[in-house]
Amino acid sequence: VAEIVPQDVALTTFSMLFSRQKGNFEQQMSGALDCKNLKDDDTILIVEGCSHRQTCDDIGRVKIPALMQKYTSKKLNFEFCSGGDFPDDLSRYALVVHCGGCVLNKKEIRRRLELCEAAGIPATNYGMVISLAQGVLERTAAPLLKK
């Protein structure tokens, strides 16, 4: 999309809008940038707020892991949780990548992000990781940065 949208037109993602509305935008942007520090054999937790039926090209279970492997050039391990599931112990994860959280309320999104922060685990979201991997994170974040 970024290739066909003129540079003078604002561009962002659904997940990034939800991060600004319900999450902690700055924490999640920092988490996206931490993708650059991932190492071989790091384990990434991919979190989906809903419990939809997965498809063969599922964004959380297929597309994001593939993008992250390609972007980092690292051998990463991925674990997944969905719906109301969210681990109490996050210590084995190098990064948590959360969906936009459209079916979760603000309190639940913030609770999860606070657990990550308390454990010292970087957290980001789908839109930020995708934007980073596609080289457009700065552009997609620009409309949401506080001035």
Burial call 38-70: b when 16+ CB within 10 Å, e when fewer:
beeebebbbbbbeeeeeeeebbbbeebbebbbe
At the topology level, CATH places domain 15-136 in Rossmann fold (3.40.50)
Of all residues in the chain, the percent with pLDDT exceeding 90 is 80
* pTM summary value: 0.94
User: SS3 for 97?
Assistant: strand
Instruction: Answer yes or no: is pLDDT of 52 > 90.
Output: no
Q: Report whether 75 contacts 41 (CB < 8 A).
A: yes
Q: Is the pLDDT of residue 55 over 80?
A: no
Beta bridge partners of 129: none
Map residue 78 onto helix, strand or coil.
strand
Among 51-60, 78-87, 111-120, name the one with the lowest average pLDDT.
51-60
Find the mean pLDDT for residues 114-119: 98
Residue-range domain boundaries for the chain = 15-136
